[in-house]
Structures are given as C-alpha cells and as structure tokens.
Amino acid sequence: MREVCVVGVGMSEWGEVWKTSMRDLYVHAAMAAIKNSGVDHIDSMYVGCMSGGLFVGQEHLGALMADYLGVTGIPAVRVESACASGGFAFRQAFIEVASGMSDIVLASGVEKMTDCSPDEDTNALATAADAEYEVFHGATFPGLYAMMACAHMAKYGTTREMLSAVAVKNHKNGAKNPVAQYPFTVTSDQVASSVMVADPLRILDCSPITDGAAAVIVTTVDIARKLGKPYVKVKGSAAGTDTIALAQRADITTIKSATIAAQKALAMAGKKIDDIQFAEMHDCFTIAEIILAESIGKYKPGQAGPETLAGETSLEGKFPINSSGGLKSKGHPVGATGIAQIVEVYKQLTGQAESGRQIPKSPKIGMAQNMGGSGASSVVHILEVA
C-alpha cells in the first residue's frame, strides 16, 4: 500500500442552520478543504450521510454533491453506517488512495437534521437501532444508552458526578471551538440538575440535533510534499461490528466493535494504545465516552470515570479526549461527525487548533474513533505527524 495522508480540511457552520440547505452546507465544507489543501482537482469523492432521505427527502447524494461542487464526471458515492457514516467515508477514501486507484480523494460528511420535527428526528435516528426488537417496543437511543449507563454504574460504581465531568470537560473545550453548536461552559451541578431524558441521562448528557458538514483531502505523501501544505500521515485504519441489539450482547458495559477496530488500527500502525497521545471519541452521550475510553484499551474497565473526574482526559491531562468539544458541545450532524473528528486530529497534530484549544506538548500521534448506533459499528483511525 502507498503512504496516505490528510493535507487539507474544511467545515461548514454547525448548529441550527435554518437558512442554508444541505447541499450548500456540503459545498461550503468541501470548498474550504480543497482551498486549504491547495489541490487543483479531485479524482473521486465519498459523502458520509446517515439518512438524507428521512431528514430532508434527498437521496443520491454522491451525484448531487458532485453536481453542486462542480465536479460532475468523477466517481462519487454516499457511505452509510449510521452515526459512523463519516468515519467510514474517510476509510473508503484512505483505501482508494492506498490502493493506487486514485491519487486525490475528497472524504466528506453532511447531515441536515433541524428541518424535521423532533418526532421525525427521533424516528430517523431510531433506524440505526434494531427496528423489530428495540424500536418497535419503544426503545430510543437515550433509553439504550441509559441502560448501558445503569449497567456500568451497577458493575463498576460509576457515579453521576463522573458522567457530569465528561460534559463539563467537553463544553470547556467546545467553548474554544469556533464552529461548535454549544460554545459555552457548564458546571457539574447544571448537568446533574438539567432535564431528565432517560434515567440517569439528562439533557446535558446528550449530544444535540445538528446541521453541518465537514471535509478533508486524502492523498499520497508525495503529492502532499509537492503541495507544500501541512499534512499528517494515516498510519492505521480499521473497523468492527457487533450485534445491533443490546439484548444480544454478552456485556453492555463495553463496546466490542470499538475494541476490535482499535486493536486492528493499532496493529496496522505498529503502535500500542499508550503511544496514542490524545483522541477524538464518539461521545453521543456522556456514558459513551467513558465506556469507549475503556473499550479501546486506554483504561481498565471501571477506571475511565474516575480518571475523567481527576482531570486526566482534559486538555492539560495525560490523555486528552475530545479537544474539539466532542459531539456533546461541537454538535452531532450524524453523517459529518466522523470527518469532523479527523479535522480536529489534523488541527491538533499540525498546531492549528483555534482559540487556545491546542493540546500542550505538541502531540505527534492521535486517534479518531467514530461509531454507529449503540456501537453496532465502529471505525478507528490513527494519524501521526509527518
């Protein structure tokens, strides 16, 4: 395989973007990535999107976005793996460049979620769960993750204060992110006293409904050098799956698909988990970040909560998690989230994180972990300074 790198990144405005269409959000992010990279063409493109058909009534997104980006003629396809759609779009771009099929590929993601009513949003997101055995019986993702939280609390003694610490940390980071949907800080008491959604999860434990797009340029190291722009190498790429229904899992206090993906990505990169200096993780709910930090092998089961509470996952801690603000503060336009994680890792590794969000000690290697649903699919990438 050829050496692959990320050489340019771009994001649209994130949040409740009422006056901008899905296609315009996408083009804004894609054009920003193209300009940032300095490339004069792209050979192909992948568009991560969970459910454009349900959110805005639009499918056939590969062709649509190629059209409005002004690059008709090139191969363009939508990639779907629920909330991991963006991460898998990036993986497909990586494979295409690594294989030699293309030299310059646009990996991107987009979702326009706020044009729907709350009930329509809930129904669209629920399609990432098991329709017959979970959704039919009334399960929603807050409910599913609440069950995971209750199980983790019962098994390991995880506390309400530990869950709140995740939200407090990520909002502190997100307050420094210029594209964050919720760029404000919160206190532990505010999280713990916010509106209950599904016990023990409260509204400030949950990621929001978001409009937004993100894009990156994936190419070879040789081309990146010629462009003269900052770039980072993609050292590992791997994915895994698990049962889609929680009831069929042996243990709902861990996320097996993330474990599989992390182990394979680390092996591909020739790294150990302690070589990773920071990570962007899929904190769709505060309990998810805690479970994922354990599932990737960074912390032993039951230890991620206390370590978060102690500040070990803060920007100044030993293992920063979600310097971007994560899904919790930055937002979660489900098809774009995995790409935005790559954007953040790229910025941190090249020293370009804005507004005092740069991780101290100039990190050299980072991880992006993106997952779908309650963890039925997961994709992990390891990126390193060139």
Distance (Å, whole) CA 204 – CA 257: 26
Would residue 83 show up in a list of annotated catalytic residues for this protein?
yes
The DSSP bridge partners found for residue 201 are: 198
End-to-end CA distance of the chain: 17
Beta-carbon contacts of 358 under 8 Å, excluding residues fewer than 6 positions away, are: 348, 351
- Rounded to an integer, what distance in angstroms lies between the CA atom of residue 138 and that of residue 126? 10
For residue 27, CA distances in Å to 20, 32, 118, 373 come to 11, 8, 26, 27
Q: Which residue has the tokens 């509470």?
A: 309
* Euclidean distance between CA atoms 214 and 341, whole angstroms: 9
Among 76, 74, 108, CA closest to 90: 108
Q: What are phi and psi of 272, to 5 degrees?
A: -110, 160
8 A C-beta contact, residue 344 and residue 236: no
Whether the CB-CB separation of 370 and 379 falls below 8 Å is answered with yes
Place of tokens 């995995």: 338
Select which of 5, 28, 49, 83 is catalytic: 83
Give the residue numbers marked as catalytic: 83, 332
